[in-house]
Structure 1
Amino acid sequence: MVNTEDFIKRLEIILDYYSLNASGFADKIGVQRSSLSHLLSGRNKPSLDFILKILDVFPDVDLYWILNGKGSFPKNNEPIQNQEKKLDEVIKPNAPTPIQESIAPQNLFSEEKNQDDKNSFVSKNKNIQNAVNESISGEVEKIVFFYKNGTFKVFTPN
């Protein structure tokens, strides 16, 4: 029999690993959001169909690990004893790490840093425009840069 509390902990590890919230996870595996909510709250127990959907969508999840904590997540070839030790470390709450002075600059908004970033950005864009102009015989209408934060910039060559 699957221990529901431990199953929920392992399910939360999967959510953290894939950076998903409960509703996104439910949508991804094709179950109702309320089903996942009831499962995470401990009201319901996981069905075989639910577990199979997880395994189908997330191939890094090991069946024995999700059911009883034996095995590994994500799947790999390490011996099971090493994996269980690592799982215990993952489940234990981590203490916050102190900020090192050498990593964080004193003034993030200094004019010197911003000017260096701006010059670097302009230089990179000129290099990209030159490369595009050399490699394509036709005229370039525009160049669009998409950033990970969801923003974008459009450049039109002169």
Structure 2
Amino acid sequence: MIDTEHFVKRLETIFDYYGLTASLFAEKINVQRSSISHLLSGRNKPSLDFILKVIENFPEVELLWLLNGKGSFPTSENGFVEKTAISYIENSNQVNDLFSQETVAIEKRIEKSAITQKIQNDVTPKAIDSKIECIVIFYADGTFKNYLP
């Protein structure tokens, strides 16, 4: 269950970081201004759709940080997770370890553009015209996250 009071404080931290008002934030994630107002006042709790829009539009926001304050904000562009993910792709012999506990623990958040670019640079000549449609990361707790380029 999301603690609405602390969620609102984290949302305000995002506003401050990007220099946005509640209205500009609503416009950026394509929601009604009243939705933001109701969240900030504590009248409503955030919907899954709202959370996903924030994560998609603000890559420095970690899902766990937004939901329950665990993790950090903003995430580093050259963070440990991204470097680990890229080195994982470079070492294609580790495909059998995809669902290993270590890999799952490391794959918290991957910046879509960096990982997509790395994969597209490593494609074989047969797949040059192919484009990546979706990257899926599976977590140990049975959840998963789709990243769309």
Q: Calculate the TM-score normalised by the size of structure 2.
A: 0.51
| Residue 25 (structure 1) aligns with | 25
Q: Which amino acid aligns with 2:60?
A: D
- CA RMSD after TM alignment: 1.5
Pairing 1:103-114 to 2, within 5 Å after superposition: none
Larger Rg: 1
**Who is 1:66 aligned against?**
66
**CA deviation vs aligned residue, 1:11-44 (integer Å, no higher than 9, x gap):** 0000000000000000000000001100100000
* TM-score in terms of structure 1 length: 0.48
Same amino acid, percent of matched pairs:
69
2:49 aligns with 49
If asked which structure has higher relative contact order (CA below 8 Å, sep 6+), I would say 2
Q: Which residue of structure 2 aligns with residue 40 of structure 1?
A: 40
**AA in 1 matched with 2:48:** L
- In structure 1, what residue type is equivalent to 2:15? L
Tell me by how many angstroms 1:65 deviates: 0.2
Q: CA deviation at 1:59?
A: 0.4
- The correspondence of residues 124-139 of structure 1 with structure 2, limited to 5 A, is none
* Matched letter for residue 46 of structure 1: P
Q: Deviation per CA, 1:127-152, whole angstroms, max 9, x where unpaired?
A: xxxxxxxxxxxxxxxxxxxxxxxxxx
- Cα distance in 2, alignment partners of residues 2 and 35 from structure 1: 17
Find the counterpart in structure 1 of residue 7 from structure 2.
7
Please list every run of 5 or more consecutive structure 1 residues that lacks an aligned counterpart in the other structure.
79-158
Give the alignment of 1:72-83 within 5 angstroms.
72-76=72-76, 77=79
Q: Which runs of 5+ in 2 are unaligned?
A: 81-149
